[in-house]
């Protein structure tokens, strides 16, 4: 009897930890203020959805806690934990996918409604007599959970690939690390959610371990997400790259310039301002190329924009509207042209040194880009004397 009381106490203690953790994290996320603008609405939506997920989890943990006096409490807590992970997997998957790309809310609500209905049926089966129907409901719930998780994984992977492709058109290679955070957290989340199936198959007494593990997961996930929100303002720009490259930025710049220069300059039209800004960038870029600053491979887009006395958003707009090519491709071509000259003018110089002097920090990337643009390897170019 003391062993049973000890087991129940341990489960209750683990549930208490989970209740407090999920509720505090939900409250903390709700309190975090992210400016609710056109640029950050995805972050705000994801933050609030994750907070709601943790709040729902705290309620479900509390419901489980209130039934601690029933028989087979270990089985009941296992089923309840299964319900928590099933609902959380849907909500958190939607949150992270929506953070990358605007999702279909109707499909999400339908998916969540199906999970809630099956969860209610599963919990109701606990009070049924042991038999084929009870076993069938449990098996169907497990199969549905697995299928649902697999669908979410496939959808997230597709969304992630599309988002990376879009962001790469605007940002340097270094910015991809921010996207990798989302993928890493999603993998951690799905592993944690699906691992509940393993704990349901283990002997009694292990569910309290998973409950505490889940509380630690929520702590880890929240800490990373909060850090993600405040790590860099560039983050907000990445998810709004379309908006930031439009007229809104130009209008803000125009208003600031009008305030500084007075009523006379306030008569400048939008088209005139745009043309002035574009011409200024054009002249700065010509000087930048003349000084061969494109060879520096350790500078971010913000640093380059600062060198050109402009913003990264206007620089992006310049390349889209005037150059019809993204900055990264344009810079790569300049580096390859520089490498072609170095290879012919310095026949004794090693190809590795040529790559570094041209602006490539990675030799394999230099060979790949050179072959793609020139049509032959750097060695073949040199041996054929540029022919």
The pLDDT tens digits of the residues spanning 182-233 come to 888 888 888 888 888 877 776 666 777 888 888 888 998 888 888 777 654 4
Question: Given pLDDT bands bounded at 50, 70 and 90, which one contains residue 55?
Answer: very high
Asked if 13 and 208 count as a contact pair (C-beta separation under 8 A), the reply is yes
Q: What is the largest CA-CA distance in the chain?
A: 90
CA distance 140 to 351: 61
Place of tokens 């994801």: 46
Query: CA 149 → CA 74, 89, 153, 190, 309, distances in Å?
Result: 25, 7, 6, 7, 48
SS3 195: coil
CA distance 387 to 381: 7
pLDDT for the residue 15: 87
Q: Among 67-81, 180-194, 225-239, which is the least confidently predicted range?
A: 225-239
Q: What sign has the CA pseudo-torsion 347, 353, 359, 361?
A: positive
Q: Is the model's pLDDT at 281 over the cut of 50?
A: yes
Q: Which residues contact 381 (CB under 8 A, 6 or more apart)?
A: 340, 343, 344, 370, 374
Place of tokens 């990337």: 365
Q: Which residues contact 278 (CB under 8 A, 6 or more apart)?
A: 318, 321, 322
User: What torsion do the CA atoms of 375, 378, 383, 387 make, to the nearest 10 degrees?
Assistant: 30
Question: Given pLDDT bands bounded at 50, 70 and 90, which one contains residue 270?
Answer: very low
Q: Which residues of 179-203 are buried (b: 16+ CB within 10 A; e: fewer)?
A: beebbebbeebbebbbebeebbeee
CA distance 357 to 52: 52
Asked if 7 and 74 count as a contact pair (C-beta separation under 8 A), the reply is yes
DSSP structural state of residue 129 = P
Q: Among 34-43, 46-55, 61-70, 304-313, which is the least confidently predicted range?
A: 34-43
Region 2-240: CATH code: 1.20.1070
Best CATH choice for the domain 247-383 from the list 1.10.10.60, 3.40.50.300, 1.10.3720.10, 3.50.50.60: 1.10.10.60
Q: What is the mean pLDDT of the chain?
A: 78
CA distance 228 to 235: 8
Question: Given pLDDT bands bounded at 50, 70 and 90, which one contains residue 178?
Answer: low
| Side-chain-facing half-sphere of 250: CA atoms under 13 Å | 19
User: Mean per-residue pLDDT for 123-134?
Assistant: 87
CA distance 315 to 245: 9
pLDDT for the residue 35: 65
Q: Where are the domains of the chain?
A: 2-240, 247-383
């Amino acid at each position: 009897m003391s062993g049973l009381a000890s087991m129940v106490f341990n489960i209750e203690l683990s549930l208490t930890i989970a209740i407090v953790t999920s509720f505090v994290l939900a409250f903390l996320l709700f309190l975090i203020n992210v400016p609710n603008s056109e640029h950050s609405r995805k972050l705000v939506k994801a933050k609030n959805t994750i907070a709601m997920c943790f709040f729902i989890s705290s309620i479900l943990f509390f419901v489980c806690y209130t039934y601690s006096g029933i028989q087979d409490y270990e089985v009941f807590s296992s089923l309840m934990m299964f319900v928590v992970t099933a609902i959380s997997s849907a909500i958190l998957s939607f949150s992270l996918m929506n953070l990358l790309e605007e999702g279909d809310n109707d499909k999400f609500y339908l998916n969540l409604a199906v999970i809630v209905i099956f969860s209610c049926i599963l919990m109701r089966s606990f009070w049924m007599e042991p038999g084929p129907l009870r076993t069938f409901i449990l098996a169907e719930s497990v199969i549905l959970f697995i299928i649902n998780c697999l669908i979410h994984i496939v959808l997230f992977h597709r969304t992630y690939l599309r988002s990376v492709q879009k962001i790469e058109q605007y940002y340097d290679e270094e910015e991809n690390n921010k996207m990798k955070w989302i993928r890493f957290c999603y993998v951690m989340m799905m592993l944690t959610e699906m691992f509940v199936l393993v704990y349901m198959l283990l002997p009694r007494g292990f569910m309290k371990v998973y409950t505490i593990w889940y509380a630690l997961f929520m702590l880890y996930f929240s800490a990373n997400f909060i850090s993600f929100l405040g790590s860099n303002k560039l983050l907000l720009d990445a998810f709004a790259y379309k908006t930031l490259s439009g007229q809104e930025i130009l209008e803000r710049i125009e208003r600031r310039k009008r305030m500084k220069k007075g009523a006379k300059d306030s008569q400048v039209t939008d088209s005139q301002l745009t043309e002035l800004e574009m011409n200024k960038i054009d002249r700065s870029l010509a000087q930048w190329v003349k000084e061969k600053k494109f060879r520096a491979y350790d500078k971010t887009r913000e640093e380059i924009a600062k060198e050109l006395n402009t913003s990264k958003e206007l620089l992006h707009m310049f390349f889209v509207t005037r150059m019809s090519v993204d900055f990264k491709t344009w810079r790569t071509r300049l580096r390859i042209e520089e490498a072609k000259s170095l290879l012919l003018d310095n026949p004794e110089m090693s190809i590795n040194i040529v790559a570094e002097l041209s602006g490539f920090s990675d030799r394999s990337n230099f060979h790949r880009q050179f072959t793609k643009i020139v049509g032959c390897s750097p060695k073949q170019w040199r041996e054929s004397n540029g022919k």
